[in-house]
Amino acid sequence: MPQYELPRLGFGTVGVTDPSTIVTALETGYRHVDTAQWYENEDVVGRGLERSEVPREDVTIATKVLPRNLGAEDVKRTAAESLDRLGVETVDLLYVHWPTNAYDPEETLGAFDELYDEGKIRGVGLSNFTPALLDEARERLTAPLVAHQVEMHPFLPQTELRAYARRHDHHLVAYSPLAQGEVFGDPVLQAVADDHGVSVAQVTLAWLFEKENVCAIPKASGDHIRDNYGSLALKLSEEECRRIDDIEEEFRTVDPSEEERVDGVPWAE
């Protein structure tokens, strides 16, 4: 089992600019909120957490360090700034957002270990790592590796990284789990959704939850916040999961070759 359990469904906050969105998500039942220095909204998330009646200790809070801030002193300085913006004394997960730019396993992860020893973080998260980079990080870290966050959806099932997560007892956290809307045009997902009388989003998320050690952090607003949450109550049959597993179309929505932040880095499946 992973070092500690993450809620299967989290709330992604890319583009969130209104604290009331965070309040609505927490009132709906979400207990895992994911943000990042990159999103420039940690203060918004913090205000939402403060306004909510849900106790801080009931919410898993995750944020991520920008690639340019991955030097040891920058990690410690900007992590403190993130905690201040979030209005908390500790975060449950602090991620290396991308293993690029200033990332250096010894220096970067040494700083993460220090933050863990100081009680500023409960665990370490890595994001967008290959198996080889995960191996290297695990050899360096003394703090618990709780989660690895990658793009994952029916068109990018991340078979190798799911097996890796099971083998090494950490969570695989799926970002862009709805493939940035592409799932809504898939006939297999639509047919399963029609059979259950639910949305394609719920089917897609429920399929992810059938995978061992997998969590998902879809972003949402308005009625989609509650609709996505309904996926936790949906149980798919083995046959339905196989049909989704057998979808032949394969693609990713975040292309690292087009991103300066990941220039030159070999990529996972």
Mutual orientation of helices 200-209 and 238-245 as an angle, nearest 10°? 100
| 30 carries an active-site annotation | no
Q: Return the residue matching tokens 């709906």.
A: 28
Separation CA 238–CA 160 (nearest Å) = 21
Q: Which of 30, 39, 95, 229 is catalytic?
A: 39
Burial (CB count within 10 angstroms: exposed 0-12, middle 13-18, buried 19+), residue 233: exposed
| Diameter over CA atoms, the chain | 54
Separation CA 32–CA 30 (nearest Å) = 6
Backbone phi, psi, residue 41, to 5°: -140, 20
Identity of residue 141: L
Tokens describing residue 178: 């709805």
Output the CA–CA distances (angstroms, integers) from residue 262 to 14, 101, 178, in the order listed: 19, 8, 22
Q: Taking Cα atoms as reference points, which of 80, 142, 134, 138 lies closest to residue 110?
A: 142
Q: Which residues are the active-site residues?
A: 39
